[in-house]
């Protein structure tokens, strides 16, 4: 995708809204703007649209009726999943397990709520390819564990974890299992019953839907035991109050419909783009190392270490022509290496030499060739 002259290779940060999604949403900011919780016919029309959207999101992940609630995104869904399980706990279990490569919104929420409510957090290590260390996981599981949270698809290196197996192991010791699946819809099929997860988080803007909406799946059997996350008028089965954004819900559901219909084609397209990028790096004799597992990963995600190069400076040198991502959190005083790459055993220097390129439905071969030429030119300046 070109934005002006800029080549956009940052689809895992966010995707543009698909034209069909924009079209489906338009009517809800115009004549169908009514509050979906209002007791008049315009309100009923909006409520009907929300419930159709809810059913579509449920169907996308194989959930039963009334098993998802709309949230503002995956950050909120993840915060709700962790905090509500801790608040509801009436057992002596006092541990949360998360993987060492979770998104910051799982990590920070887990530590915050655990600290406030008297729980411990332990991080499950990963191997050098980013896959969870199964032996370590098994040894950390015991009857003290209340909740396990492991992401389906990593946002920096694209590794796909065996969620069904991980959830079954958690259940074997009586723990609940939550999965952050924000990056999953473009990479893998999702079926919450097959995966055996108790809770699962989604985000619309990672799948060509609008920003500001996501969803939390909560298994029916668990729902009644959980307290509300946002208190108010009792919307969404009493679990998450607030007026529902009809247009965003419809846009999200439409985006998932499109993702499902185009999954096979889209994944093959992304894989071809990724392959072309890797080959192009080699053809241009660029000194690089691939971070993370080489196969069975998100087809559109590529994390590259540019050997002995400051990635933040390289990204800056590529502006305004190529948009990619460092995966590092920048502070005014220093650049912090990605916790994901460090957890895989990369050194600080290797981690801060790494950039993530993520491809999408609107990426094509000429864009990749041009981006590679620009990278090669800019690297020559270092
Ligand atoms: C794996 C993962 N989880 C959670 C989030 C947060 O999603 P949202 O922007 O919808 O809050 C992101 C987005 O960066 C992500 O990649």
pLDDT, one tens digit per residue, over 276-290 is 999 999 999 999 999
Least confident of 2-6, 200-204, 234-238, 260-264: 2-6
Q: Is the CB of 214 under 6 A from ligand 1?
A: yes
pLDDT score of 359 more than 60: yes
pLDDT score of 189 more than 80: yes
**337-346: pLDDT as tens digits:** 999 999 999 9
Q: Give 332's pLDDT tier (boundaries 50, 70, 90).
A: very low
Q: Which atom of ligand 1 is nearest to the CA of 76?
A: 11
Strand boundaries in the chain, DSSP class E = 2-3, 6-8, 68-71, 95-99, 120-124, 145-149, 176-180, 199-203, 214-218, 288-290, 301-306, 322-323, 329-330, 335-336, 354-358
Q: Look at ligand 1, atom 2, and give the residue with the nearest C-alpha.
A: 182
pLDDT of 334 reads 57
Ligand 1 pocket mutation, candidates 72, 81, 182, 328, criterion most atoms within 8 A of CB: 182
Q: Is the CB of 210 under 6 A from ligand 1?
A: no
**63-85: pLDDT as tens digits:** 999 999 999 999 999 999 999 99
pLDDT score of 230 more than 70: yes
pLDDT of 3 reads 82
pLDDT score of 365 more than 80: yes
Q: Is the CB of 160 under 6 A from ligand 1?
A: no
What number is the average pLDDT over the span 302-314? 96
Beta bridge partners of 200: 179, 217
Instruction: Evaluate if pTM is beyond 0.85.
Output: yes
SS3 of residue 176 by DSSP: strand
Q: What is the mean pLDDT of the chain?
A: 95
Q: Is the CB of 180 under 6 A from ligand 1?
A: yes
pLDDT score of 46 more than 60: yes
Residues acting as catalytic residues: 330
pLDDT of 146 reads 98
Q: Is the CB of 328 under 6 A from ligand 1?
A: no
pLDDT score of 335 more than 70: no
Distance from the alpha carbon of residue 200 to the mean position of ligand 1, in angstroms: 12
SS3 of residue 277 by DSSP: helix
pLDDT score of 126 more than 70: yes
């Amino acid at each position: 995708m070109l934005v002006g002259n800029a080549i956009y290779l940052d689809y895992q940060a966010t995707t543009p809204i698909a034209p069909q999604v924009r079209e489906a949403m338009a009517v809800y900011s115009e004549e169908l703007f009514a509050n979906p919780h209002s007791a008049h016919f315009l309100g009923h029309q909006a409520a009907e649209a929300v419930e159709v959207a809810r059913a579509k999101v449920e169907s996308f992940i194989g959930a039963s009726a009334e098993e998802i609630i709309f949230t503002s995104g995956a950050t909120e869904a993840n915060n709700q999943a962790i905090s509500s399980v801790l608040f509801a706990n009436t057992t002596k279990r006092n541990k949360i397990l998360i993987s060492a490569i979770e998104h910051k919104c799982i990590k920070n929420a887990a530590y915050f709520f655990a600290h406030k409510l008297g729980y411990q957090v332990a991080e499950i290590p990963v191997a050098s390819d980013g896959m969870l260390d199964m032996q370590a996981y098994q040894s950390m599981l015991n009857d003290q564990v209340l909740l396990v949270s492991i992401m389906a698809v990593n946002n920096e290196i694209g590794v796909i974890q065996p969620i069904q197996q991980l959830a079954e192991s958690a259940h074997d010791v009586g723990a609940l299992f939550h999965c952050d699946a924000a990056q999953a819809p473009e990479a893998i099929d999702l079926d919450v019953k097959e995966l055996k997860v108790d809770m699962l988080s989604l985000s619309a803007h990672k799948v060509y839907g609008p920003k500001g909406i996501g969803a939390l799946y909560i298994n029916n059997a668990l729902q009644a035991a959980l307290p509300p996350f946002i208190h108010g008028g009792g919307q969404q089965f009493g679990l998450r109050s607030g007026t529902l954004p009809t247009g965003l819900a419809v846009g999200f559901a439409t985006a998932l419909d499109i993702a499902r219909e185009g999954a096979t084609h889209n994944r093959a397209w992304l894989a071809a783009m990724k392959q072309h990028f890797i080959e192009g790096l080699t053809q241009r004799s660029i000194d690089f190392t691939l971070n993370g597992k080489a196969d069975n990963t998100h087809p559109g995600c590529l994390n590259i270490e540019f050997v002995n190069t400051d990635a933040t400076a390289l990204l800056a040198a590529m502006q305004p022509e190529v948009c990619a991502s460092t995966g590092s959190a920048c502070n005014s005083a220093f650049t912090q290496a990605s916790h994901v790459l460090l957890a895989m055993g990369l050194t600080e220097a290797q981690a801060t030499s790494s950039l993530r390129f993520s491809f999408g439905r609107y990426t094509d071969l000429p864009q990749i060739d041009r981006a590679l030429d620009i990278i090669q030119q800019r690297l020559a300046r270092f």
